[in-house]
Structure 1
Amino acid sequence: MPFLLDYLNRIGVEDEDVSILVALGTHRYMEEEEILERFGVEVVERIDVVNHRWRNEDNLVDLGVTEDGIPIEVNKLAVEADYLIGVGSIVPHVQAGWGGGCKILQPGICSDKTIKETHLLAAEQEDYLGLAGKAENPVREKIEDIALEAGLDFIVNVVFDGEGKVVDVVCGHPVKAHLRGVERASEIFVRDIPEPADIVVAEAYPAEVDYWQGIKALAHAQRGVRRGGKSILVADFGEGISPVHTEVAECARRPSGGIWRMWEDGELEDGVGVAALILHAEIMKHSDVICVSSRMLEEEKDKLGFESADSLQEALNLARGDVSGEPSIGIIEKGGDVLPRVEK
């Protein structure tokens, strides 16, 4: 970020005319200490860094609807900007196909009304678990339509390697530049495997604050485990299932059909949470899950339908006991970013 600010200074844009809007979607707001850790002292001292406070309607501007009726409600700070730059990274994403690009705006800085529509669109896809890694898909197209309509002018997206070092940067048109970045990111994050394993161990890191993040790693893992196999999810989950989307904890044991009926009958109010519940149901239909987390409460693991283990070794012993013969085992490090792909 300092490099971008320095460049803007060189072309005549002063720090006082720049603000950073943290694109949270419907995640919880970042604390001041977290903002400082994420952006660094230099950036925080030079410019304003503010959360996208999606719960406050006064922070949102209604820009109308898309051709198919999706409301476009976007953070006022972004709408009022003379030039809007999206800054992010490109990794596989369970609903949008890939992170980065226009996703910085939708869902990043939209209202929950707008955000729920593309999440529910993902949940409606026949191959929900297959969206990750697809550069072009119906959800991505809708995200891009909304972002461009809302005025996203330019993106700066980085591609990291497995050690967190920048290996590529793409800049320019929010869609065209992003597609170029996806090509490079695919080389790093999509890993070919010969066949699905009987047991897959998935490290949720770097998506392990709560299960709302960690479901990404577990969804990715389903691409590497056979149907009816065992998934072992290793994560911190210090904030439990989700401090924001509380309906997930209450309904996570229900099948996808039951979730849809509750949503249609008005028993569930959180559309973004419904999309997560459908994803969770698809995961649990594909494999049994053992969770290794010292910080997630046992009752939370039970609500998710997970078997609990105190250590990875205990989890492996449990998984082996349910598989006849000598099982094949796959290991996914940095499962929040890495996507297995069975070789054709």
Structure 2
Amino acid sequence: MRIPYGTTGLELDRDLTGAEVLESAIGTLKAEGSEDDIVCKAMAAPMGSPRLAELAKGKKTATIIVSDHTRPVPSKHILPFMLAELREGNPDIDVTLLIATGFHRPTTHEELVNKVGEKIANEEKFVCHDSRNPEANVDIGVLPSGARLVIDKVAAETDLLVSEGFIEPHFFAGFSGGRKSILPGVCDQVTVLGNHCSKFIDSPYARTGILEGNPLHNDMVAAAKLAKLQYIVNVVIDEEKKVAAAFAGDPFQAHETGCAFLKGYCRVKPQRKGDIVITSNGGAPLDQNMYQSVKGLSAAEAAAAPGAVLIISSRCNDGTGGESFYHALHDCDTLENLMKRILATPMDKTDPDQWEYQILCRMMLKHRIIFVSDPSMQKTVEEMKLEYAPDLNTALDRAYADKGRDAHLVVIPNGISVIVEP
């Protein structure tokens, strides 16, 4: 079996007799027409909203929130049609494309070209959101949790705010897409940190595929409404990262419809919890660092028996993905004390990357975790109190040595593509 890893994949060359393989059924989705056709059809009949051309009439400015380099959104098949419709409704409208970096590093021009194409990258006006620059952001209200909503001035001051994005299972927000374009997409760090606080992350509803009762989702929805997000184009992508379905129109109706659609393809249920669970973070670009790889591991966690061995295949060509993420695990004396400190941290004192190491620490306290990654990552992986293996076969051999040859093996080839239910 080939497991996603970087741009090439890794071979799992062992007897898998008796193993359960949990995969998304998105590959069975037969889309009608090209990627462009799918997007245009959705935009021609938006849900709960006028067409984008109608919304553009009488507006001087419009801002399209665009996903950043960490998201495999096929923007080349979305943005040209959003720009065309805006200008169809108002040829003189002043359009800005705002890159929703959230709490990530800035997107480079080369990454932007790869994402949106040379024509749009070179001819349109782009602004890269900076969550750490208070001068670039403005306070526009209070969220249900009590956190302040501070967003990019470009988003706050535009006449028409719209966004593109994609919907996938998300390990603590339930699903990506929709309201996440605002929070965390274009929010100041004070708002992102408040939303990702330890209390919210600790909620049993802050899990993959769950929206109802999810405290992070509730604040995200409120943020999108306060920011006056008016229209979205969100897509579902297949295993080749091509557009398989599109949902356009009202930000909340279109997103909820897309989530329900995707859940029908992504829901998986192991017949028996795994003593050993193998997964990946979906390959490039999603396995570019350890930080992002926590997402794939959360799928393994959901399919694991108590004390299971979790194995993840992740290239990590961009390193850890965050200094505070690295240091939290490297510097702590014990994982137990780290978790106590995290849970005692109030909302307004949330550390950068705290949510990511909180979830990883939660899994490490319950499971042995083996990272299959680039050899250059071995020292870093071990410094973070995790176990390194050079390949999947070595990792699986170690797991069997620990759990016994009769251990039940569950394989989730792409951990970020599934919703594991009990």
Alignment pair present for 1:157 and 2:244 = no
Alignment pair present for 1:96 and 2:176 = no
Alignment pair present for 1:76 and 2:153 = yes
Q: Distance in 1 between matches of 2:273 and 2:410?
A: 8
Alignment pair present for 1:119 and 2:196 = yes
Give the direction of change, closer, same or farther, for the CA distance of 1:28–1:260 in structure 2 (3 Å limit). Answer: farther
Give the direction of change, closer, same or farther, for the CA distance of 1:203–1:42 in structure 2 (3 Å limit). Answer: same
Alignment pair present for 1:241 and 2:317 = no
Q: Structure 1 residue 229: deviation in Å? A: 0.7
- Superposition misfits of 4+ residues, deviation over 3 angstroms: 243-260, 262-266
User: Which residue does 1:10 correspond to in 2?
Assistant: 88
Alignment pair present for 1:200 and 2:277 = yes
Return 5+ residue gaps in structure 2 as ranges.
1-78
Q: Structure 1 residue 175: deviation in Å? A: 1.7
Instruction: Report SS of the residue matched to 2:371.
Output: strand
TM-score by length of 2: 0.74
User: Could you list the per-position Cα deviations for residues 184-219 of structure 1 after superposition, in whole angstroms to 9, with x for gaps in the alignment?
Assistant: 111233323222212111111242111111111111
**Looking at CA atoms only, which structure, 1 or 2, has the larger radius of gyration?**
2
Q: Structure 1 residue 7: deviation in Å? A: 2.1
Give the direction of change, closer, same or farther, for the CA distance of 1:290–1:68 in structure 2 (3 Å limit). Answer: closer
Give runs of aligned pairs for residues 269-288 of structure 1, distance below 5 A. Answer: 271-288=351-368
Using CA pairs under 8 Å that are at least 6 residues apart, name the structure with larger relative contact order, 1 or 2.
2
Instruction: Report SS of the residue matched to 2:320.
Output: coil
Q: Distance in 2 between matches of 1:172 and 1:297?
A: 43
Q: Distance in 2 between matches of 1:9 and 1:46?
A: 15
Q: Structure 1 residue 256: deviation in Å? A: 5.7
Alignment pair present for 1:216 and 2:295 = yes
Q: Structure 1 residue 252: deviation in Å? A: 6.5
Aligned residue-pair number: 338
Contact 2:308–2:368 (8 Å) recurs in 1: yes
Q: Structure 1 residue 77: deviation in Å? A: 0.5
User: Could you list the per-position Cα deviations for residues 125-181 of structure 1 after superposition, in whole angstroms to 9, with x for gaps in the alignment?
Assistant: 1x26x6111132222111111221122112111111222222221122222221100
Q: Distance in 2 between matches of 1:253 and 1:171?
A: 49
Contact 1:256–1:277 (8 Å) recurs in 2: no
Give the residue type in structure 1 aligned to 2:172.
Q
Q: Structure 1 residue 124: deviation in Å? A: 3.2
Give the residue type in structure 2 aligned to 1:241.
T
Give the residue type in structure 1 aligned to 2:85.
Y
Query: How much identity, in percent, do the aligned residues show?
Result: 26
Q: Distance in 1 between matches of 2:144 and 2:310?
A: 41
Q: Structure 1 residue 72: deviation in Å? A: 0.8
Q: Structure 1 residue 260: deviation in Å? A: 4.3
1:229 to 296, 308, 317: 308
Return 5+ residue gaps in structure 1 as ranges.
none
Give the residue type in structure 1 aligned to 2:201.
A
Contact 1:199–1:327 (8 Å) recurs in 2: yes
Q: Structure 1 residue 95: deviation in Å? A: 1.6
User: Which residue does 1:51 correspond to in 2?
Assistant: 128
Q: Distance in 2 between matches of 1:256 and 1:81?
A: 47
Give the direction of change, closer, same or farther, for the CA distance of 1:45–1:4 in structure 2 (3 Å limit). Answer: same
Q: Structure 1 residue 308: deviation in Å? A: 1.1
User: Which residue does 1:312 correspond to in 2?
Assistant: 392
Give the residue type in structure 1 aligned to 2:104.
H
